[in-house]
Structure 1
């Protein structure tokens, strides 16, 4: 079954191709320097020099020929990440070559290398976050779980990226729920929630994000392009026969939950009436700051590098991504939020601040629960699961220990 989001406003061009062009340009620059150095080494045979140049060109050419292939793009990323320090080390060794002022030159070379460690670490962390760290994980999600009454579907995002997912048909006339996983994960993690929703009559669609699982793409942008992926999935589900498009919801975890919060303004006019979020990032700038904190005084320089690299790759810098700010400015959409106080990936303080500033957010802090396990913890807890199902049926925010109305059912309306 295929789906296309026709005529929707979205990004132009492939983020994967943009990534390959930018990173490939860096690789070609490094290759040119390396080729110049190798040509000055008469001890190497001509065949060896040619072979080295061809080996360096191969990842660039393969990635350009197939920019959405994670294998070729990963090889290109590795060439840049590993090649940069090797070139720098080689230049430092040549600069400190034997001579009358060798000790001074060696000291200068060491200081230069140490100064380059911060930018190199930031660049490596950035490329690993958007591409290199995700590619190996997707291998574990190439065979997603599918139950007998579910269908495999394909949905085209506005920039042409093909998304793959699993559709769980519900009762005719019931609402639909888009179910979303987090970064470096796959749709199978949320299969239990899809089954629980379908059992209550809801139509559920869970997808693999771009660059995850069986969906196309080699690069993730955390929320910049993924917002359009969510809109494509949302419209696809709302257009299914038997789905009440006025009763649409999103249930998501981690990065997926952050994307859901960032999309409320665009989805509310299309029928979104509630969001269930597990441990969402509500301020990426704070999270990036925490990750770069070990760099100490180089942290501010690293933040600047993150912004430049993101813009160069053609997407919004994570420093500027704020689902909390987007939600505050969006039309009011009820949000049921769960966050564990043992979360070491996204601090619970972000969700606490969100609930404090946005009156349409109801927060449940779960003692002793970490980041990855929170969807399963809520699903396995009878009281919490019932709260989610009743919220989806009739979204209302309970504050200050307001008792839940006893007449609320758990089945889809």
Structure 2
């Protein structure tokens, strides 16, 4: 009976983790001057989002939320970036919000949404330098996408190095040492439920090929993506690169945790790579 209960718990957890997190989002808030967009993705899907134009020569930023969230998670970032003149595109990643998708795949299929959104942003902001700010799932999808041409800069927040690390950390945080035992059965379900393997979900093995200056940030107290894992990712990344340790923060929205510090750090980084001279 104990074994059956264990297997049942693993199956239920696997279904919940990969089940789409779709919901109606609707139009942007009245105090955020943006329009609704729908961007086609291969082979027959789309991602939904909001696009706010910026000032010429200031740059454009794609904003990507975390797992089981949607574009509204990135609204605070979009607001301050747009105030500084950056164009901002916020999307719902595949299988989230109002975007299509039958399974959450922890960055593998979500990467197609990243590529399509970057192509859209380049069309809507011709001649502008492009950055990506990705949180957790959004960061992983950016690295796994290896978009070409590469963005001019990326901000990767709370990004996991491998799916094995991500699942084991989350389960042990909730269940203690028993969580490590449950990690294996959950990971075994990936090919069946999501059509991807653990080999497809290893950002640490692709980050050196990203081809973009990177700011890698994480909370010092993050138990989902530990600081040691963040340092591993930073060491694996090619330069130019910066690392930012947010003292006191766990696996939280780093902008909401400390808006002033976040905005200074990110704006300073983006200004190096996105602002046109003169």
TM-score after normalising by structure 1: 0.60
Aligned mates of 1:198, 1:192 — CA distance in 2: 10
Matched, 1:166 2:50: yes
Shift of 1:213: 2.0
- 2:143 touches 2:210 (CA, 8 Å); kept in 1? no
Shift of 1:178: 0.5
Q: Which runs of 5+ in 1 are unaligned?
A: 1-112, 396-409
Q: Which structure's residues are more often strand, by fraction? A: 2
Deviation string, structure 1 residues 189-246 (Cα, Å, up to 9, x no partner): 2112112222222211001112222223342111111000110001011111x4325x
The counterpart of 1:391, out of the listed 248, 269, 278, is 269
Aligned mates of 1:211, 1:347 — CA distance in 2: 26
Q: Which has the higher contact order (CA 8 A, sep 6+)?
A: 2
Aligned mates of 1:386, 1:148 — CA distance in 2: 21
Matched, 1:377 2:257: yes
Deviation string, structure 1 residues 328-373 (Cα, Å, up to 9, x no partner): 2x15321112211122332222112212333423111111112223
Task: Give the 5 Å matches for 1:196-275.
Answer: 196-240=80-124, 242-245=125-128, 247-263=129-145, 265=146, 267=147, 269-275=148-154
The counterpart of 1:349, out of the listed 222, 228, 249, is 228
Q: Which structure's residues are more often helix, by fraction? A: 1
Figure out how many residues of one structure are paired with residues of the other and give that number.
274
TM-score after normalising by structure 2: 0.86
Matched, 1:340 2:219: yes
* Alpha-carbon distance change, 393 to 309 in structure 1, aligned in 2, over 3 angstroms: same
- 1:279 touches 1:348 (CA, 8 Å); kept in 2? no
* Alpha-carbon distance change, 295 to 319 in structure 1, aligned in 2, over 3 angstroms: farther
* Alpha-carbon distance change, 123 to 151 in structure 1, aligned in 2, over 3 angstroms: same
Task: Give the 5 Å matches for 1:20-169.
Answer: 113-131=1-19, 134=21, 138=23, 141=25, 145=29, 147-169=31-53
- The residue number in structure 1 matching 2:248 is 368
Aligned mates of 1:127, 1:236 — CA distance in 2: 32
Matched, 1:327 2:207: yes
- The residue number in structure 1 matching 2:155 is 276
* Alpha-carbon distance change, 359 to 215 in structure 1, aligned in 2, over 3 angstroms: closer
Aligned mates of 1:378, 1:317 — CA distance in 2: 36
* Alpha-carbon distance change, 370 to 297 in structure 1, aligned in 2, over 3 angstroms: closer
Q: Rg bigger for which structure?
A: 1
Question: Which aligned segments of 4 or more residues in structure 1 are displaced greater than 6 angstroms?
Answer: 295-298
Secondary structure at the counterpart of residue 155 of structure 2: strand
- 2:41 touches 2:47 (CA, 8 Å); kept in 1? yes
Secondary structure at the counterpart of residue 108 of structure 2: coil
Q: Which runs of 5+ in 2 are unaligned?
A: none
Deviation string, structure 1 residues 235-289 (Cα, Å, up to 9, x no partner): 011111x4325x21101212111212223x3x2x324121012211222211222
* Alpha-carbon distance change, 412 to 166 in structure 1, aligned in 2, over 3 angstroms: farther
Secondary structure at the counterpart of residue 59 of structure 2: strand
- The residue number in structure 2 matching 1:405 is none
- 1:130 touches 1:220 (CA, 8 Å); kept in 2? yes
Shift of 1:319: 6.4
Deviation string, structure 1 residues 17-76 (Cα, Å, up to 9, x no partner): xxxxxxxxxxxxxxxxxxxxxxxxxxxxxxxxxxxxxxxxxxxxxxxxxxxxxxxxxxxx
Aligned mates of 2:179, 2:79 — CA distance in 1: 48
* Alpha-carbon distance change, 288 to 164 in structure 1, aligned in 2, over 3 angstroms: same
Aligned mates of 1:230, 1:188 — CA distance in 2: 17
